[in-house]
């Protein structure tokens, strides 16, 4: 993992929900889409292969995006039109927040604040400082002993609404 891509500790999140296999992560993304109203910033933390892009694919499907959703690792930003406009970002190759204006991040955040768009960012470290006081939902995906198992945790600023907390509450199988 490159410097600057430190992951938050799982201890700083409530217990999460387990997904077994990519279809389950996709389905979690679809259910998350149903809770989106527009104007949200979603920060997706997790190592390579944790399933961040898979989650975004489900999210976009749930928002009615028909275009193919592919990783923006090289393009940095992919924008999709669905029930809401989705700006999908990946900062893995971005060294610092100084680069954000070059990739149009202030304009994307303005679009989000207008309410008909969302930003969903993988490797979101450089974005955090640019958010200022803007609300955000933070997700952390971690791998476990089972190669197909992931644990998805959620926290937010302010505290996520009850429907969000319920979606990421693994109940008895919590991880």
Question: Which one, of 79, 45, 49, lies nearest residue 63 by Cα?
Answer: 79
By beta-carbon proximity to ligand ADP, the closer residue of 84 and 141 is 141
Task: Sort strands 17-20 and 149-157 into parallel, antiparallel or unpaired.
Answer: antiparallel
21 belongs to the binding site for ligand ADP (CB under 6 A)? yes
57 belongs to the binding site for Mg ion (CB under 5 A)? no
> Looking at 35-43, 70-78, 146-154, 160-168, which segment touches Mg ion (CB under 5 A)?
70-78
Let me know: does 16 contact 153? Beta carbons within 8 Å. yes
Around Cβ 141, how many Cβ atoms within 10 Å? 24
25 belongs to the binding site for Mg ion (CB under 5 A)? no
88 belongs to the binding site for ligand ADP (CB under 6 A)? no
Q: What is each CA distance from 96 to 6, 88, 105, 130, in whole angstroms?
A: 13, 18, 13, 11
> Looking at 77-85, 94-102, 146-154, 164-172, which segment touches ligand ADP (CB under 6 A)?
146-154
Footprint of ligand ADP on this chain (CB under 6 A)? 19-22, 24-25, 46, 48-54, 71, 122, 148-150
């Amino acid at each position: 993992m490159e410097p600057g891509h430190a992951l938050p500790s799982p201890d700083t999140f409530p217990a999460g929900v387990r997904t077994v296999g990519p279809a389950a992560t996709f389905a979690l993304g679809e259910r998350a889409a149903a809770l989106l109203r527009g104007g949200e910033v979603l920060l997706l933390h997790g190592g390579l292969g944790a399933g961040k892009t898979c989650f975004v694919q489900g999210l976009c499907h749930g928002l009615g995006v028909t275009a193919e959703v592919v990783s923006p690792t090289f393009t940095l930003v992919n924008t999709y039109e669905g029930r809401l406009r989705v700006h999908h970002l990946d900062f893995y190759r971005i060294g610092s927040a100084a680069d954000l204006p070059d990739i149009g991040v202030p304009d994307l955040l303005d679009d989000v604040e207008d309410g008909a768009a969302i930003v969903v960012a993988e490797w979101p470290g450089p974005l955090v400082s640019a958010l200022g006081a803007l609300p955000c939902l933070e997700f952390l995906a971690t791998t476990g002993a089972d190669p197909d198992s992931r644990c998805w945790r959620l926290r937010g600023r302010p505290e996520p609404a009850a429907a969000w907390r319920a979606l990421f509450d693994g109940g008895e199988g919590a991880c």
